């Protein structure tokens, strides 16, 4: 597909186990690729990267519960988001796609692949599913994160009713991040259950480029997690981009090139 050709995109929906409606879209040509977004990211946010991937892949994207065009839910736990991914993968019937996950979506992809190895071809994990040695959210940092996520929730007011909306409130986002810390403390065991090829695309400055304070500590912890994973699973292919956690927005072309070079 050339830069001037637009992929035909077909919208659809499926339902999670608890009845939440999950909005999905499919378009492009080639091997099937399922893109699992992260917390607070939607299909609409990922348009540039997804558009690049659709030149070489038949790309399936979707919105997690409480995000974008998917419906709200009664709760937002890790297992609930995992059921969203399971619903999308079941929607594909017998196809065994390349599964790409960003941030929380990477963690969901690892858990899905460890439980359903026969349903996944390969994994590409973008800045997530990192077995960091220390929790991301500490007691000391709670006030800072509460303020940050409250600000994010307040900014979402203007996006209500649009394809970029996120319906989770600040407390739900905080509780989910604490749960993700717990999930990542045990995620090495999940990696050990996966025999499929895995590619990691990680940021060098997940928390921003500051060389001081909490940002520097978080970045060091992120790097330590990646080093821990590679020691345990040396067969994993890794790439590091000079970027922060928003790399899917700022480095879309590089990410698309890496995925293309390692999985076609």
Domain that holds residue 196: 9-263
Mean pLDDT of 208-229: 91
Q: What is the pLDDT of residue 1?
A: 41
Q: What is the pLDDT of residue 146?
A: 86
Helix 170-184 vs helix 104-115: angle between axes, to the nearest 10 degrees?
50
**Better-scored residue on pLDDT, 60 or 154:** 60
Q: What is the pLDDT of residue 40?
A: 93
**Better-scored residue on pLDDT, 149 or 132:** 132
CATH number of residue 196's parent domain: 3.40.50.1820
Average pLDDT, the chain: 93
What's the rounded Cα separation, in Å, for the pair 161 and 177?
25
> How many distinct structural domains can be found in the chain?
1
Q: What is the pLDDT of residue 212?
A: 78
Q: Report if residue 227 sits inside a domain.
A: yes
Q: Report if residue 4 sits inside a domain.
A: no
Q: Report if residue 2 sits inside a domain.
A: no
What's the rounded Cα separation, in Å, for the pair 260 and 113?
20
Q: What is the pLDDT of residue 4?
A: 36
Q: Report if residue 89 sits inside a domain.
A: yes
Q: Report if residue 245 sits inside a domain.
A: yes
pLDDT above 90 coverage of the chain, percent: 81
Cβ atoms < 10 Å from Cβ of 236:
17
Lowest mean pLDDT among 2-11, 63-72, 179-188: 2-11
Query: What are the start-end ranges of the E strands in the chain?
Result: 9-15, 21-28, 31-36, 57-62, 98-102, 122-126, 198-203, 237-241
64's CB contacts (< 8 A; 6+ apart) are 22, 37, 39, 70, 81, 84, 104, 105
Cβ–Cβ under 8 Å, residues 81 and 223: no
Q: What is the pLDDT of residue 256?
A: 98
Q: Report if residue 235 sits inside a domain.
A: yes
Q: Report if residue 1 sits inside a domain.
A: no
**Tokens representing residue 241 in the block:** 């981009």
Q: What is the pLDDT of residues 188-214, one digit of tens each?
A: 999 999 999 999 999 999 999 888 778
Q: What is the pLDDT of residue 2?
A: 40
The model's pTM is: 0.94
């Amino acid at each position: 597909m050339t830069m001037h050709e637009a992929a035909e995109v077909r919208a659809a929906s499926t339902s999670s186990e608890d009845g939440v409606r999950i909005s999905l879209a499919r378009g492009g040509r080639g091997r099937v690729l399922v893109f699992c977004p992260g917390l607070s990211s939607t299909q609409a946010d990922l348009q540039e990267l997804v558009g690049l991937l659709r030149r070489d892949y038949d790309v399936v994207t979707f919105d997690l519960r409480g995000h974008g065009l998917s419906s709200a839910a009664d709760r937002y736990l890790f297992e609930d988001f995992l059921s969203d991914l399971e619903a999308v993968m079941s929607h594909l019937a017998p196809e065994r796609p390349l599964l790409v996950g960003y941030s929380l979506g990477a963690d969901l992809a690892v858990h899905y692949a460890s439980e359903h190895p026969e349903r996944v071809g390969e994994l590409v994990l973008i800045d997530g599913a990192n077995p960091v040695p220390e929790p991301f959210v500490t007691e000391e940092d709670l006030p800072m994160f509460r303020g940050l996520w409250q600000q994010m929730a307040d900014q979402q007011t203007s996006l209500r009713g649009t394809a970029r909306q996120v319906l989770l409130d600040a407390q739900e986002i905080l509780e989910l991040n604490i749960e993700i810390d717990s999930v990542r403390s045990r995620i090495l065991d999940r990696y050990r259950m996966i025999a499929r090829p895995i590619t990691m695309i990680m940021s060098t400055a997940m928390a921003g480029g500051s060389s001081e304070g909490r940002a520097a500590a978080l970045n060091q912890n992120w790097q330590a997690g990646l080093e821990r994973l590679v020691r345990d699973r040396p067969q994993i292919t890794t790439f590091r981009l000079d970027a922060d956690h928003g790399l899917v927005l700022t480095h879309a072309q590089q990410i698309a090139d890496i995925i293309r070079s390692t999985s076609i």
